[in-house]
């Protein structure tokens, strides 16, 4: 039997209009029913991350603010699902995973957040994996949302075992070459962006040799979305296919995708079922 691709989705995600991403999940999980019927694809209801665990990567002051937000439960489910998936991928219970998310992600710093993401997904994953598998576990985080992942960078600093490559609007290399920003260009093409993926991420992980790859995948970079950088819908499928293939070579296919920015319904419904197909191949 083929190894399992886990899909984490909670019905709360399709019931509200979320900050920035709006109601792009309104037709999920039905829109991916064909994929969910596959023998090696498993739909998982994400657990809530505990508040005790949240306090390991967010400050007390910030926690006291965020827990009063209307979308706090959605954020807890998002981080809880990603953490659960990461642990089970490392334990080889799942081969890879697509984790849907709302109200949590790459703009959440330890003590501040903005941009529709109010808890740190990366903070939850890094903290739990280091606890379970040791502080030297090598984690690669690829961020292909249109905007700079300020929160992920803030959380990652000081963790030399974490490679964070963020495709945004500036060129920065810091912390001994483990924290990188790549200017992907305001107007680019599928081919140009994929070439940057090769030179700035693929080559780096060949040297870094992560034990798991975390992909913060926004589709806001697509034509017709709010962070438009000129990319086609097909770009996202080519990107996932490339990262998945490389993950098989480097870390036995341990690859976790967390949905990020983008509010265009057509793009969202086009790419995510097909991403499941690619992960489950």
pLDDT computed for residue 2 by the predictor: 87
- Per-residue model confidence as pLDDT tens for the chain (281 residues): 789 999 999 999 999 999 999 999 999 999 999 999 999 999 999 999 999 999 999 999 999 999 999 999 999 999 999 999 999 999 999 999 999 999 999 999 999 999 999 999 999 999 999 999 999 999 999 999 999 999 999 999 999 999 999 999 999 999 999 999 999 999 999 999 999 999 999 999 999 999 999 999 999 999 999 999 999 999 999 999 999 999 999 999 999 999 999 999 999 999 999 999 999 99
Please give the helix or strand (H or E) that residue 275 lies within, else none: helix 265-280
The CA distance from 86 to 99, in Å, is 10
Q: Provide φ and ψ at 122, rounded to 5°.
A: -65, -40
Query: Collapsing DSSP states into helix, strand and coil, what is residue 99?
Result: strand
pLDDT computed for residue 264 by the predictor: 98
The CA distance from 215 to 148, in Å, is 14
Q: Which domains does the chain have, with CATH numbers?
A: 5-280 (3.40.800.20)
The CA distance from 123 to 168, in Å, is 20
Q: Provide φ and ψ at 98, rounded to 5°.
A: -115, 115
Q: Are 24 and 263 in contact (CB under 8 A)?
A: yes
**Chain centre distance of CA 155:** 14
Partnered with residue 7 across adjacent β-strands are 43, 98
Nearest to 143 by CA among 164, 129, 162, 169: 164
Partnered with residue 212 across adjacent β-strands are 139
Pairing of strands 139-143, 41-44: unpaired
Q: Are 53 and 124 in contact (CB under 8 A)?
A: yes
Q: Are 153 and 179 in contact (CB under 8 A)?
A: yes
pLDDT computed for residue 213 by the predictor: 99
The CA distance from 190 to 55, in Å, is 39
Quick one: DSSP state of residue 263? -
pLDDT computed for residue 1 by the predictor: 75
Pairing of strands 162-168, 5-8: unpaired
Q: Is 267 left (phi over 0), alpha (psi -120 to 50) or beta?
A: alpha
Pairing of strands 162-168, 96-99: unpaired
């Amino acid at each position: 039997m083929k190894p399992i691709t886990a899909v984490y989705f909670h019905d709360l995600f399709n019931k509200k209009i979320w900050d920035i991403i709006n109601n792009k999940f309104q037709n999920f999980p039905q829109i991916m029913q064909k994929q969910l019927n596959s023998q090696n694809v498993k739909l998982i209801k994400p657990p809530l991350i505990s508040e005790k665990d949240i306090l390991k990567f967010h400050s007390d002051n910030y926690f006291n603010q965020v827990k009063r937000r209307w979308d706090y439960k959605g954020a807890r489910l998002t981080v809880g699902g990603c953490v659960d998936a990461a642990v089970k991928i490392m334990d080889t219970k799942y081969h890879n995973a697509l984790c849907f998310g709302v109200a949590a992600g790459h703009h959440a710093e330890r003590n501040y957040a903005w941009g529709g993401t109010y808890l740190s997904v990366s903070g939850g994953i890094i903290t739990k994996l280091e606890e379970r598998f040791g502080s030297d576990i090598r984690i690669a985080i690829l961020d292909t949302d249109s905007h700079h992942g300020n929160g992920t960078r803030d959380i990652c600093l000081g963790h030399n075992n974490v490679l964070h490559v963020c495709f945004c609007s500036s060129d920065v290399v810091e912390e001994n070459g483990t924290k990188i920003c790549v200017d992907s260009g305001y107007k680019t093409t599928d081919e140009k962006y994929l070439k940057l993926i090769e030179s700035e991420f693929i080559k780096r992980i060949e040297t870094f040799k992560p034990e798991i790859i975390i992909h913060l995948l926004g589709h806001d970079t697509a034509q017709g979305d709010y962070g438009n950088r000129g990319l086609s819908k097909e770009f996202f499928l080519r990107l996932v296919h490339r990262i998945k293939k490389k993950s098989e070579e480097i870390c036995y296919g341990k690859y976790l995708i967390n949905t990020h920015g983008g509010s265009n319904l057509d793009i969202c419904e086009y790419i995510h079922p097909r991403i499941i197909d690619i992960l489950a191949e």
